Amino acid sequence: MGKIDPSEITPEHVYLNRRQLIKGMGALAAASFLAACSGDRERGASPLSSATPATGPAATPDPLEDTLTPYDDVTGFVNFYEFSLSKTEAAELAEDFRTSPWEVEVGGLVHSPRTFTLEEILAYQQQERIYRMRCVEGWSMVIPWTGFPLSRLLEAVDPTSEARFVRFETLYDPEQMPGQKTSVLDWPYVEGLRLDEAMHDLTILATGLYGKQLPPQNGAPVRLVAPWKYGFKSLKSIVKIDLTADMPVSTWVTAAPSRYGFYANVNPNLSPPIASQPTERVIGTGRQRETELFNGYGEAVAHLYAGMDLEQNF
Ligand SMILES: Nc1nc2c(c(=O)[nH]1)N[C@H]1C(S)=C(S)[C@@H](COP(=O)(O)O)O[C@H]1N2
Ligand SMILES: [Mo]
């Protein structure tokens, strides 16, 4: 199976394929997700499972012409500072994390505030979404998520006309999350999106990957994924979502405001000291590739930033 050189892939081309595939996949992915949820986890097959074993050493090209990152890398090499700064140790320490029962409280500037149980979240029709993820540390993965557009959940609570931003919070539970007994970050981990970014079809709440339940270390039971932004925006194990009038102050902006901005759109063209690595290491392939503006999703999202200075609004 020939690897496609990244320079041969135009973002438009990838995106169009992606759109077609996503459309055609809804029902299949939902079916496989139900299989995954019914307790038969080992055999909860992804729609890609014929081409891609859920576990195993070999990376396999997916129909989007990106190479899926092997399951063992996606689940074994993680950033989850609530557990550990070490990527492999975080995966181990998260093993027994309790993800049930779980609730997500959605409120703030909305007409119908509501607390969703995990079961209610899983009742939204789940789709397979294959997305690139680019971490500011200079590595990337291609991950087949299961999830659904965040817009579905936000529509259910009916934002008021004053709502302009969405603020997200990860669980705070130092007894379970030993990293929260340290002060490496301000806890709980907070992130935010502008409301139009949050409503964008590419923005999902992920509940699974590779057609299986989301492993604890990847942010179970429900996490955000906004694939045109650096990975740190995609916060894990969400318990609270608030609609706000003002721009939320996110954890990483508090930690290092000169380096991390609110938008955190993947952008290889920014000047230092802002995160600006022009290339990325593709985990599981030994390859280095050029980083693309908006992580290759420009066709879909560039209009959100029309007229904005991306150097100022990093
Ligand atoms: N709550 C929480 N969310 C988080 C993080 C974290 O430490 N805590 N790390 C972020 C970073 S830096 C990245 S790159 C992605 C990594 O997601 P993955 O480990 O599932 O690949 O999660 C993001 N979400
Ligand atoms: Mo990251």
| Domains, the chain, with CATH or none | 6-304 (3.90.420.10)
Round to whole Å and give the CA distance between 289 and 131.
Answer: 16
How close is the Cα of 2 to the center of ligand 1, in Å? 31
How close is the Cα of 62 to the center of ligand 2, in Å? 23
Which pLDDT belongs to residue 4?
36
Which pLDDT belongs to residue 33?
39
Q: Which ligand is nearest to the CA of 79?
A: 1
Single pTM value for the model:
0.83
Neighbour-count burial of 22, counting CB atoms closer than 10 A to its CB (0-12 exposed, 13-18 middle, 19+ buried): middle
Which pLDDT belongs to residue 220?
98
How close is the Cα of 116 to the center of ligand 1, in Å? 23
Atom of ligand 1 nearest to the CA of 78: 19
Which pLDDT belongs to residue 19?
40
Q: Which ligand is nearest to the CA of 189?
A: 1
Structure token pair of residue 48: 């890609």
Round to whole Å and give the CA distance between 110 and 160.
Answer: 5
Round to whole Å and give the CA distance between 201 and 127.
Answer: 12
**Beta-carbon neighbour count of residue 286 at 10 Å?**
7
Q: Which ligand is nearest to the CA of 251?
A: 1
CB-based contacts of 205: which residues, under 8 Å, 6+ apart?
A: 121, 147, 148, 149, 150, 153, 222, 223, 224, 225, 238
How close is the Cα of 255 to the center of ligand 1, in Å? 15
Phi/psi of residue 125, nearest 5 degrees: -60, 120
Atom of ligand 1 nearest to the CA of 141: 21
pLDDT digit string (tens) for the chain, length 314 residues: 333 333 333 333 333 344 444 433 443 343 343 333 333 222 223 333 333 333 433 455 554 567 899 999 999 999 999 999 999 999 999 999 999 999 999 999 999 999 999 999 999 999 999 999 999 999 999 999 999 999 999 999 999 999 999 999 999 999 999 999 999 999 999 999 999 999 999 999 999 999 999 999 999 999 999 999 999 999 999 999 999 999 999 999 999 999 999 999 999 999 887 776 899 999 999 999 999 999 999 999 999 999 999 999 99
